[in-house]
Structure 1
Amino acid sequence: MEGLPLDALTPARPRWPGRSARGSVVLALADEVFAGLPSDCVLPECRMVRKREFHLTLLSSQEAAAVECGLPVQAWATRFEVLDWSLRLTGEAWLLHESTQDGEAWALAACAACPALEAFRDSIARASGVPLPRAPAHVTLFTTPGSRGIGLPSRAVFRALRVRPVLQAPSAGGDQNPP
């Protein structure tokens, strides 16, 4: 995806983030890296707004709760700290759509390369006895106004929710490459 930074977005050895207020485990990314994104993204399918913060999800709140039953949170940090958490955007981005009982949700997710994500999840899964699917490394850039975004717990869910690739960073004026 043109217009987004493709260099390393995280230090190789960030501090252990712990669990968020919602119970998930996320690696925060520097907001200034995404400062060039417009405040909204208008595509033929939907209108979205830029997220207030950017992160890589390591464990969803549901996954973290399940893992904690088999492995204390303190043991997660040790597994996290031995990994190289370098993260780079790949240049690929997807428009995602999900229909739920709460309504329609749209998101624009930039794909990322972060081998530590899979290594961390595999290590946690083995140690806790809780199977965790392969999750797609991604950074959600835009979401439907008022929504919490779209969870991508597995590559299969990611594939199922994809609408189309988005080829350029959105501009306030709309999509540069409509379908």
Structure 2
Amino acid sequence: MRFVSLLIMAKYLLFILVVSSSCLALKYQGQKIWLFSKTQYMGNAPVDRDGKAVKGYTETLLCFIEISKNKQSPAWQTAWYKGVKYSVNILQVNQDSVIIGRIKNAKTTFVIKPGLETKLIRLELTEQGNFNAPKANGFVLEGILNNKQVYVTSDEPAVELAPVLMQ
């Protein structure tokens, strides 16, 4: 009798473990992820009424993910980088390669070319402000796939592109 009750209890605990683990976020496996930061400066440095220089630049975060052509991509919703939260807009890349730009303090231009069996997805990240970031270092990207929350993480820092002077 005691063995039967232990067996029932073990099945019950296994059931709870399976149900609770299916509610957790799953790590999504993309082929590769690239993260770039770009600073754009205004042609003339703006000043306030007191003559103090105000922030005359904007910082942009660019993200590209390479995934299998046969694999469905999640609906990416939120990203965090260095404690800053970003909303995500997904753009399909239709070219066979993408010229990203020149890397800061280098003369080389960075180009991304996906493999034959993969495709590129570009994510436009819009800053939402400082929030309590997830407990992961680096870059965290969250989305939904098949009604389950998925995420991608990268501990690599963003590659800094050469600044752009705007007219």
Decide which structure has greater helix share: 1
Asked if TM exceeds 0.5, the reply is no
TM-score by length of 2: 0.24
TM-score by length of 1: 0.23
Decide which structure has greater strand share: 2
Instruction: Answer with 1 or 2: which has the greater Rg.
Output: 2
